[in-house]
């Protein structure tokens, strides 16, 4: 059977099952409360990028959320590769999730739980379509602020994403392609699925705090160093963004996505700018060259 028509295989609590049989309970805390953490890695041409770094971030989320798992980081890595392999996907987005599972009593001590563990793989997901990748997206600054570190630290990669959905509803209704929000001090933070960079006078800037520590953001920082582009990790505002030479978002879902407009202000230079283009090219070269790669073995 062709890969496109075959039913996907899902990892669930130690078993590899056809998706139609990979069901979880309606009493699962992940479903009832959004109580769980996850991560997403991607594969390109048969190689998963920075798998160890993603699994390490996942284990930080688990630790901070007081969530248990039956598997070691190495076993998670093996199961992630195996899920991609069984789905025969050379270009894939692979999501792995731990929830607090089904409690023995409805009002339970959240520390005591049997986790639900899931891995599924989909064909590679790009956040932007071809046209948006070529000529940039329209980005809205949301009226919603990001979570403060003393409520839900943005470094948790957690399932509770109602907030993000509300911001997306707002952006879609206003006709924008994507959005970013500010932190509670009014500085630029990030988007619902991406981090943010801007270029001013040849210098690359990215927010310092109140963000998920994106693996792609870290990769672009490393590539900027390699390319000799000076980097500043610091707070900045919407004013800085609107007057920047280049702005782009970045994520595991496609690398850099150039921005051409921010809440009604068209940037002065056409997107993508030269530094965005150069860094994105280096990113994809690095992936095609098999840097930081774990082979799926297809
Ligand atoms: C809130 C948020 N910020 C940033 C990112 C980008 O992170 P990464 O580069 O690890 O995909 C994501 C990814 O989903 C995210 O959810």
CA 238 to the chain's CA centroid: 22
Q: What are the beta bridge partners of residue 197?
A: 248
Name the residue of 153, 154, 212, 287 to mutate for ligand 1: max ligand atoms within 8 A of Cβ.
212
Query: How far does the centroid of ligand 1 lie from the alpha carbon of residue 107, in Å?
Result: 32
Closest alpha carbon to 91 in 40, 19, 42: 42
Name the residue of 41, 53, 214 to mutate for ligand 1: max ligand atoms within 8 A of Cβ.
214
Query: How far does the centroid of ligand 1 lie from the alpha carbon of residue 160, in Å?
Result: 14
Give the model's pLDDT for residue 72. Answer: 98
Give the model's pLDDT for residue 106. Answer: 74
Measured by CA distance, the residue closest to atom 14 of ligand 1 is 193
pTM of the model: 0.96
* Ligand 1 atom at shortest distance from the alpha carbon of 252: 11
Measured by CA distance, the residue closest to atom 16 of ligand 1 is 193
Give the model's pLDDT for residue 5. Answer: 66
Name the residue of 124, 195, 248, 283 to mutate for ligand 1: max ligand atoms within 8 A of Cβ.
195
Rounded (5°) CA angle 178-182-186: 150
The domains found in the chain, sorted by start residue, are 9-123 (3.30.470.10), 130-288 (3.20.10.10)
Average pLDDT for runs of 10 along the chain of length 298: 73 98 96 97 98 98 98 98 98 98 86 95 96 97 96 96 96 98 98 98 98 98 98 98 98 98 98 98 98 97
Spatial separation of the C-alpha atoms in residues 19 and 8, rounded to whole Å: 5
Q: Is 37 within 8 Å of 159 (Cβ atoms)?
A: yes
């Amino acid at each position: 059977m062709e890969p496109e028509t075959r039913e996907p295989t899902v990892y669930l609590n130690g078993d590899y099952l056809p998706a139609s049989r990979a069901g979880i309970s309606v009493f699962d805390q992940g479903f009832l409360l959004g109580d769980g953490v996850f991560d997403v890695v991607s594969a390109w041409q048969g190689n998963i990028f920075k798998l160890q770094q993603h699994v390490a971030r996942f284990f930080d989320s688990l630790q901070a959320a007081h969530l248990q798992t039956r598997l070691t980081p190495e076993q998670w890595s093996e199961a992630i590769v195996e899920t991609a392999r069984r789905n025969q996907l050379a270009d894939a987005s692979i999501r792995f999730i731990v929830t607090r599972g089904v409690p023995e009593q409805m009002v339970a001590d959240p520390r005591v739980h049997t986790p639900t563990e899931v891995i599924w793989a989909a064909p590679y997901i790009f956040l932007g379509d071809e046209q948006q990748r070529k000529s940039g997206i329209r980005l809205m600054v949301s009226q919603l602020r990001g979570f403060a570190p003393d409520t839900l630290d943005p470094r948790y990669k957690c399932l509770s994403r109602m907030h993000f959905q509300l911001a997306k509803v707002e952006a879609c209704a206003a006709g924008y392609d994507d959005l970013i929000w500010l932190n509670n001090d009014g500085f630029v933070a990030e988007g619902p699925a991406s981090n943010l960079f801007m270029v001013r006078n040849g210098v690359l800037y990215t927010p310092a705090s109140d963000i998920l520590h994106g693996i792609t953001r870290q990769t672009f920082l490393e590539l900027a160093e390699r390319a000799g582009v000076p980097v500043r990790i610091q707070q900045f505002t919407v004013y800085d963004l609107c007057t920047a030479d280049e702005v782009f978002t970045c994520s595991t879902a496609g690398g850099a996505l150039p921005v051409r407009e921010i809440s009604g202000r068209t940037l002065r230079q056409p997107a993508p700018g030269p530094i965005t283009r150069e860094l994105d090219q280096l990113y994809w070269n690095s992936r095609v060259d098999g840097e930081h790669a774990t082979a799926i073995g297809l």
